[in-house]
Amino acid sequence: MERKKRFDVKKLNTRLALAMLIVAISLVLAGSGCGWQTSRYNQLKMQSIMDNHAQQIASNMLRIEELDKAVNDVAQNQTKLQEQIAAIQNDTNQLRENMIAVLKQLKEQLSQISSQISSAGTVNK
C-alpha cells in the first residue's frame, strides 16, 4: 500500500502551538526588556536627582556654618561693645562727679575771694 501523504493535523497543531509559544516568549522578553530599560532609566534619573540634592544639602550646610560663625562673631562684638559702653558710662559718671567736686571747690574759692574783697572794701572806706 502506498502511503498517501496526508495532512497531519496533530503535527500541525503541535507546530502551531510551539510557534505561538515562541512568539509569546519573545513578546514577553521584548516587553520586559523595555520595562528593564525604563526601570534603569528611572533609576539613573533618580540617582542624578539624589546626587543633585546631596550637593545642594552640602552647599546649604556650608552656608549655614558660615552664617552661624557670622552670628557668633556679631554676638561677640555685641558683648565687647556692651562692655565698652559700660566702661564709658563709668568714666562719664566719674568725670561728672569730679566736675561737681571741682565746681564746688571753685564756688568756695570764689566765695572766699568775694568775702575777702567785701571785707577789704569795707576796711578801705
What pLDDT is stored for residue 29 in this prediction? Answer: 73
pTM: 0.48
Residue with cell 568775702: 115
**Residue 19 exposed, middle or buried by CB count within 10 Å (0-12, 13-18, 19+):** exposed
User: In which band, very low, low, confident or very high, does the pLDDT at 1 lie, cut at 50, 70 and 90?
Assistant: very low
Q: What is the mean pLDDT of residues 42-70?
A: 95
